[in-house]
Amino acid sequence: MTRIRNNTVVVTGASRGIGEAAARYFAKAGAKVVLSARNEARIRDIAEDIAAKGGIALAIRCDVSQAADVERLMTEVRARTGAIDVLVNNAGTIDPIARLADSDPQAWGQIVDVNLKGVYHGLRYAIPWMVESGGGTILNISSGAATSALEGWSHYCATKAAVLSLTRVAHKEYGPQGVRVIGLSPGTVATDMQVSIRTSGINPVSQLDPNVHIPPEWVAKALLWLCGPDADPHLGTDFSIKTNEGRAAVGLALAD
């Protein structure tokens, strides 16, 4: 945990779920955390709570689907903290869940804007700063959906597959310049997204017992681990904590 101390960590989608857990975990490890999301009031409340507990946190509103918003976020982070050491591209959504012939084209496109273009925007505007400063780490939240075909999830599967490709390309292009790019496939996590999935009743994931979902704090711990050299063999690809091998590496409880 000492390796992250005083580093600047930007977390998108930080108003709840994995993003909130990651922001709190990195702050506890001594990082300067920047929480970003569309819900400015919520991220300000979280940042204030982190600060009240001795951490360092800033809240900056950003809609990752908008390139100008993300460019402004990265510029402000650099101006206020002096660095962008880690970017956690976490913002993502799955609603509305629907089979292809029942899907709404505008809603489907909005998922692409957040899940795919949002990650691209983060890469596009963080990488130049990281290259200039000699390196950094970008962590893209991925999913088993990146390599699966799940009924009702055409938008989610397609965007996560594309994010995996972005991870690979970004590593190939900027790995030699010190920018570490890794995806994290956490499995099912106990967040609001799982509530939407269960409500949909579509595909086997919606039928899972809620007790099998891992807590978001486990994902946060894995994200911190990915910032260290032990994760270097996984650069340019997705690292999974669905397997006992991955969980053991991070120090998480093994699956039965």
Distance from chain centroid for Cα 255:
23
- Hey, what amino acid is at 84? I
Is the CB of residue 180 less than 8 Å from the CB of residue 141?
A: no
Name the nearest CA neighbour of 181 among 161, 160, 164.
Answer: 164
φ, ψ (nearest 5 deg) of residue 149 = -115, 110
Q: Report the alpha-carbon distance of residue 90 to residue 115 in Å, rounded.
A: 9
Question: Looking at 25, 125, 156, 174, which residue is catalytic?
Answer: 156
Q: Where are the alpha helices (DSSP H) in the chain?
A: 17-28, 40-52, 67-81, 105-111, 117-133, 154-174, 192-200, 216-226, 244-250
Length of the chain: 256
d(CA 213, CA 132): 40
Rounded to whole angstroms, how far apart are CA atoms 219 and 252? 10
156: annotated active-site residue: yes
Scored b (16 or more CB within 10 A) or e, 155-174 reads: bbbbbbbbbbebbbebbeeb
Beta 8-12 vs 179-185: how paired, if at all?
Answer: unpaired
- Asked whether 37 and 19 are in contact (CB, 8 A), the reply is yes
The catalytic residues are 156
